[in-house]
Amino acid sequence: MFISSAAISLFCGSSVLTSCSDNEPSPTDDTSQFVTLTDVVPDAILEIRYFGTYNFVGSRIDGYEEPTALLTKKAAEALKAVSDDVRAKGYRLKIFDAYRPQKAVDYFVRWAADLSATEMKPYFYPDLDKSVLFEQEYIMEKSGHTRGSTVDLTLFDMKSEKEVDMGGTFDWFGPESHPDFCGNPDTGEYTGDNSKSPAGRSITATQFENRMILRKAMLAHGFKPLDSEWWHFTLNNEPFPDTYFTFPVKQLTK
């Protein structure tokens, strides 16, 4: 049976039906402006770290129900332009994370507060005491990912059939992950200055240049970088700058 929108408004405004608004989904659960990323960028390679156990926590993260990547339509379309750009140079995009539900961020906060949970410290933050993760803003109560237009990614070399060597792993907590580590990201100049590394780590000129290839392509197609992570980019003029979504990561129905 068809009921007009006017009729719905009438019923919901009456004293008979006072709970219509209570039954409506929260705006933060609305997936209508989101897409499954591979529907827009079909050649993207997915390695959704928070669906698996190889991440800084060491377990699957709450809210990741399927190993897929979601983004707002606007961000996905911009990423398609990036993909076309780097593909012409012999690369594909490899995605580690995209939209991240608030439930996952809450999980990270609880994990960071438990100073005894350090199983993955040797792999992701060997130079840091876990107690500084909040202070140094590696873990925060809100994430740009939750607004749906932020993506964590790297490049995949189609010729070698390997992930491009960026001189460091995704989600490494430390200055070695900063875009300006050993170079100037504004000019693309490699300096070799590794003075910020507490353990004297470094990256090569080639590794720095690889980071710049990704960065230049992302900036050219409307994304802005983060000054602490070479892999992290957010769409300029993102469509939901103040909305933190809560729906889980799983394949969206078309």
For the chain, the structural domain boundaries read 31-235
pTM of the predicted model, to two decimals?
0.89
Going by pLDDT thresholds of 50, 70 and 90, the confidence category of residue 3 is very low
CA atoms within 13 A of residue 42's CA, in its CB half-sphere:
1
Q: Radius of gyration of the chain from Cα atoms? A: 21
For residue 143, is it left (φ>0), alpha (ψ between -120 and 50) or beta? beta
Helix boundaries (H) for the chain: 5-13, 20-23, 37-40, 73-87, 102-113, 121-124, 205-220
Q: How confident is the model at residue 27 (pLDDT cuts 50, 70, 90)?
A: confident
- Joined together, the tokens standing for residue 4 give 């007009």
From the list 223, 240, 222, the residue with the least C-alpha distance to 34 is: 240
Q: Which long-range contacts (CB under 8 A, 24 or more apart) does 182-191 make?
A: 182/208, 183/208, 183/212, 185/211, 185/212, 185/215, 185/225, 188/212, 188/216
Report percent pLDDT > 70 for the chain: 90
Instruction: Provide the pLDDT for residue 15.
Output: 31
Name which residue leads in pLDDT, 25 or 215. Answer: 215
What are the tokens at 168?
Answer: 């460091």
| Rounded average pLDDT over 155-172 | 97
Whether 53 shows a pLDDT value over 90: the answer reads: yes
Convert the pLDDT of each residue in 105-163 to its tens digit: 999 999 999 999 999 999 999 999 999 999 999 999 999 999 999 999 999 999 999 99
Q: Among the options 65, 77, 137, 229, which is catalytic? A: 229
How far is residue 87 from each of residues 22, 218, 238, 241, measured CA to CA in Å?
47, 13, 24, 30
Mean pLDDT to the nearest integer, 64-68: 98
Whether residue 77 contacts residue 40, with contact meaning beta carbons closer than 8 Å, is answered with: yes
Q: How many Å apart are CA 80 and CA 68, to the nearest integer?
A: 16
Q: Is the pLDDT of residue 20 over 80?
A: no
Rounded Cα distance between 156 and 70, Å, is 20
pLDDT of residue 12 exceeding 90, the answer is no
Alpha helices in 35-169 (DSSP H): 37-40, 73-87, 102-113, 121-124
The yes-or-no verdict on residue 89 having pLDDT over 80 is yes
Third-level CATH fold of 31-235: Muramoyl-pentapeptide Carboxypeptidase; domain 2 (3.30.1380)
Concerning whether 66 is annotated as a catalytic residue, the answer is no
